[in-house]
């Protein structure tokens, strides 16, 4: 934030600087003169300039009147437009991060309602223009980048257009109404960027750099935390928590695409004997070796996991039973190469491509098949 062209430091230092400025008679007068001016006055926008801008966008009074006639339709669907708008906006992390909390979101919803109402109010005078200039100022202050504002404006226009297309009783006027709406939103955008770019560009750039650095830091921390939360520390395969999420996700994908989904369950035979006889260090070594054998035998699209103890699971998207058998044979061969004296039991379950088991049924069936294979090895 700046007063009279002077850049202010953030936080408490900013407050102290403002107080110091206000105590200086000359500076106090300068600040007083500034805050007593409307944004229209600060940017030298008068009635003649407003009309000139409308002429530039070829925005006629007849078109503005046509927009005002659609006010009842917009009022009837206003809540739905605002709700859909923020559903789409908060899909993007950078926008959700800027909004920050539910209180801010509630205030933004209220402001967005007023903005949409103004578009169809029929009053496009100095008060209307001043509110658009203020939008640019507010968006700069909260650190919204131009690309985010423009994308949001585009989203809003499409949502309003959808309502008009669906509910205008006289469809013959629809092309003129949509063209007028496009012109008015462009008119608004030009006003917004007069304040956004014209007077505060350097602050925008600084805010952008800080936000990008902060976002990168959050992303890196999130990746590290996510990796730790989803990985088994001994084998570096995915853990049970990650497996349960993955199988639901991949099953939904298989249902949508009508493809196969296979699950392989693996267990080390007589693992308790290995631990009891040779110690837990040896047992861990066996598990790590099996983990590598599984990882090396899988495709890039597969999801290898250690469920717990000596039990492992592999989720194989778009894999028929033949593919699952081939991969399980590779796992068994790789493990036997390192430990020919030990063996593993493997169970396979395949679902799709027309009828599908649930995630629980798929896991249970693979586990049961593995248990039956283990019984045969005894």
- Give me the pLDDT at residue 207, please: 77
Per-residue confidence in pLDDT tens, the chain, 378 aa: 232 333 333 444 444 444 444 444 444 444 444 445 677 887 888 999 999 999 999 999 999 999 999 999 999 999 999 999 999 988 888 888 888 888 888 888 998 999 999 999 999 998 999 988 888 878 777 778 888 889 999 999 999 999 999 999 989 999 999 999 999 999 999 998 888 776 665 565 777 788 888 888 888 888 777 777 889 999 999 999 999 999 999 999 999 999 999 999 999 999 999 999 999 999 999 999 999 999 999 999 999 999 999 999 999 999 999 999 999 999 999 999 999 999 999 999 999 888 999 999 999 999 999 999 998 876
Nearest CA to 186 among 175, 198, 178, 176?
178
Q: How buried is residue 143: exposed, middle or buried, by Cβ count under 10 Å (0-12/13-18/19+)?
A: middle
- Give me the pLDDT at residue 12, please: 46
Q: Choose one of 167, 191, 210: the last residue of a domain.
A: 210
Backbone angles phi, psi at 235, to 5 degrees: -100, -15
| Whether residues 101 and 206 fall in one domain | yes
Q: Give the CATH number of the domain where residue 159 resides.
A: 1.10.490.10
- Give me the pLDDT at residue 272, please: 93
Alpha-carbon gap, residue 88 to 72, rounded angstroms? 25
Pairing type for strands 2-3 and 6-7 reads antiparallel
Alpha-carbon gap, residue 151 to 89, rounded angstroms? 9
- Give me the pLDDT at residue 137, please: 79
Backbone angles phi, psi at 304, to 5 degrees: -80, 135
| Whether residues 246 and 310 fall in one domain | yes
| Whether residues 267 and 366 fall in one domain | yes
| Whether residues 72 and 160 fall in one domain | yes
Instruction: Please say whether the beta carbons of 303 and 238 come within 8 A.
Output: yes
- Give me the pLDDT at residue 199, please: 61
Q: Which residues contact 159 (CB under 8 A, 6 or more apart)?
A: 81, 84, 85
- Give me the pLDDT at residue 333, please: 96
Q: Choose one of 188, 210, 232: the last residue of a domain.
A: 210
| Whether residues 189 and 244 fall in one domain | no
Instruction: Please say whether the beta carbons of 118 and 128 come within 8 A.
Output: yes
| Whether residues 115 and 252 fall in one domain | no
Number of domains in the chain: 2
Q: How many CB atoms lie within 10 A of CB 193?
A: 17
- Give me the pLDDT at residue 378, please: 65
Q: Is residue 165 part of a domain?
A: yes
Q: Which residues contact 271 (CB under 8 A, 6 or more apart)?
A: 283, 286, 309, 310
Q: Choose one of 189, 210, 231: the last residue of a domain.
A: 210
Residue 92, classed as helix, strand or coil, is: coil
- Give me the pLDDT at residue 85, please: 92
Tokens of 63: 């078109």
Alpha-carbon gap, residue 290 to 284, rounded angstroms? 10
| Whether residues 58 and 140 fall in one domain | yes
């Amino acid at each position: 934030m700046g007063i009279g062209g002077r850049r202010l430091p953030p936080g408490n230092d900013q407050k102290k600087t403002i107080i110091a400025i206000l105590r200086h008679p000359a500076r106090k007068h300068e600040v007083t003169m500034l805050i007593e001016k409307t944004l229209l006055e600060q940017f030298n926008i008068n009635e003649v300039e407003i009309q000139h801008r409308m002429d530039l966008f070829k925005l006629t009074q007849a078109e503005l009147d046509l927009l005002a006639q659609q006010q009842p339709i917009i009022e009837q669907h206003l809540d739905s437009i605002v709700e859909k708008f923020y559903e789409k906006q908060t899909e993007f992390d950078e926008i959700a991060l800027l909004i920050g909390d539910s209180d801010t979101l509630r205030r933004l919803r209220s402001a967005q309602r007023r903005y949409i109402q103004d578009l169809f109010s029929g009053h496009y005078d100095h008060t209307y223009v001043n509110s658009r200039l203020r939008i640019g100022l507010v968006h700069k202050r909260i650190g919204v980048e131009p690309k985010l504002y423009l994308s949001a404006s585009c989203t809003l226009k499409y949502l309003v257009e959808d309502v008009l297309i669906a509910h205008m009783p006289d469809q013959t006027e629809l092309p003129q109404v949509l063209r007028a709406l496009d012109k008015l939103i462009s008119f608004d955008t030009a006003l917004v960027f007069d304040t956004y770019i014209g007077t505060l560009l350097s602050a925008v750039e600084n805010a952008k750099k800080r936000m990008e650095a902060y976002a990168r830091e959050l992303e890196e921390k999130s990746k590290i935390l996510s990796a730790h939360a989803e990985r088994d520390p001994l084998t570096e395969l995915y853990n049970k928590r990650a497996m349960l999420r993955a199988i639901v996700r991949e099953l939904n994908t298989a249902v949508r695409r009508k493809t196969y989904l296979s699950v392989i369950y693996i267990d080390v035979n007589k693992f308790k004997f290995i631990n009891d006889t040779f110690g837990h260090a040896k047992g861990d070594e066996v598990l790590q070796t099996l983990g590598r054998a599984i990882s090396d035998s899988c495709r890039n699209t597969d999801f290898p996991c250690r469920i717990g103890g000596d039990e492992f699971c592999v989720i194989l998207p778009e894999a028929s039973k033949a593919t699952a058998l081939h991969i399980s044979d590779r796992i068994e061969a790789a493990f036997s190469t390192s430990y020919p004296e030990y063996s593993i039991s493997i169970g396979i379950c395949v679902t799709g491509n027309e009828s599908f088991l649930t995630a629980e049924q798929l896991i249970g069936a693979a586990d049961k098949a593995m248990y039956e294979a283990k019984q045969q090895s005894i």
